[in-house]
Amino acid sequence: MSSQRIISLLPAATEIVCALGLEENLVGRSHECDFPPAVKQLPICSEANFPDNLSSAAIDKKVKELLSDALSVYTVKREVIKELNPDVVITQAQCEVCAVSLQEVEEALENYLDKQAHIVSLQPNSLEDIFDNIREVAATLDVTAKGNQLIEDLQERVDIVRHKLKFNENKPTVACIEWLEPLMVSGNWMPELVGIAGGASVLAEAGKHSPFVQWVDIQLQDPEIIIVMPCGFSIERTMKEMDILLQLPGFADLKAVKNDRLYITDGNQYFNRPGPRIVDSIEILAEIINPKQFMFGYEGDGWIKFSL
């Protein structure tokens, strides 16, 4: 068993470490790591440079201001990390808005720790990349066999969904809303996940970063299903801002809204986290897109239907 001391500065990485059976090796976490719940008692090694109760528009404005001044959106707590004396620090190079970046970690820890910690940086753009990240973390932590087993188990669940939809010709168009103000649709792995679950993603390209869109773009696409999954937001938090969408001109006239196919998901716990629960996210999408064929039991917790 690995005896390495691990700090995870990324919620998805924390979940990967725990899924590999190494929860006891975690000595520190980011301010956003909250699953499995037991990790909440670990020392916090990062913080956001803005309050957490801001609206979508205010968060967007604050983040853009910080980045335009070449400031970081997050602060790495060097003193805490030094005290925790890690062997491995896991971070990401995917998005400077989503979590502490590789550059920040490198700059914060350069010549600062008493020993050279191994920094692992994850940068997934697809489902296969997420599985590769699990392999990489498992190899770094000397549990390669466990990593392979975990991926096999996850892949099996993906295959069950694929298999059930093998002869499914009807692929409804799906708009996944990743941010409310300004409007953004979900890119990276999300179009692929929607495809596996039997839908056709609109306005975003698999493997590419999530694009900002104009409201008129969504109107022109007139998707059959709309799934709202703001990055870092729970269902409850998203509910508080649904008026942003509801007040858009012609929102009630969209096909998805008229046919009662508007949904809110827990973006924070599922879709925005490229870890083991990305497969839960596929199962959630399958329940939403093909309710007659799938009932995994996520409704109420992972997603809800939102009726006007």
CA nearest 230: which of 240, 215, 216?
A: 240
| Cβ atoms of 262 and 305 closer than 8 Å | yes
Bridge-partner residues for 119, per DSSP? 89
- What is the chain's mean pLDDT, rounded? 91
Structure tokens at 123: 């940068």
How large a percentage of the chain has pLDDT more than 70?
Answer: 93
Dihedral (CA of 290, 296, 298, 302) sign: negative
Taking Cα atoms as reference points, which of 14, 27, 17 lies closest to residue 113? 27
- What angle is formed at CA 178 by the lines to CA 201 and CA 239, rounded to 5 degrees? 120
Note whether 36 and 18 are within 8 A (CB). yes
Cβ 137 vs Cβ 25: under 8 Å = no
Q: Smallest Cα–Cα separation from 99: which of 121, 114, 82? A: 121
Please give the CATH superfamily to which domain 165-305 belongs.
Answer: Nitrogenase molybdenum iron protein domain (3.40.50.1980)
Given a cut of 80, whether residue 300 has pLDDT beyond it is: yes
Residue 104, Cα to own-chain centre: how many angstroms?
A: 20
pLDDT tens-digit readout, 240-253: 999 999 999 999 99
pLDDT above 70 for 270: yes
Residues of the chain with CATH 3.40.50.1980: 6-123, 165-305
Tokens 């000397």 belong to: 142
Query: Which of 23-27, 81-85, 94-98, 231-235: highest mean pLDDT?
Result: 23-27
Residues 6+ apart with CB under 8 A from 58: none
Q: Which CATH architecture has domain 6-123?
A: 3-Layer(aba) Sandwich (3.40)
Q: Which residue has the higher pLDDT, 53 or 157?
A: 157
Q: What is the average per-residue pLDDT within 35-63?
A: 87
- Count of residues making up the chain: 308
Q: What is the pLDDT of residue 107?
A: 72
* Cα–Cα distance, 115 to 8 (Å, whole number): 17
Single pTM value for the model? 0.93
Q: Computed over its alpha carbons, how large is the radius of gyration of the chain? A: 20
User: Quick one: pLDDT at residue 162?
Assistant: 97
3-state secondary structure 253-284: HCHHHHCCCEEEECCCCCCCCCCCCHHHHHHH
**3-state SS assignment for residue 202:** coil
Residue type present at position 45: C
Q: What is the mean pLDDT of residues 205-221?
A: 94
Instruction: For 11-20, write each residue's pLDDT tens digit.
Output: 999 999 999 9
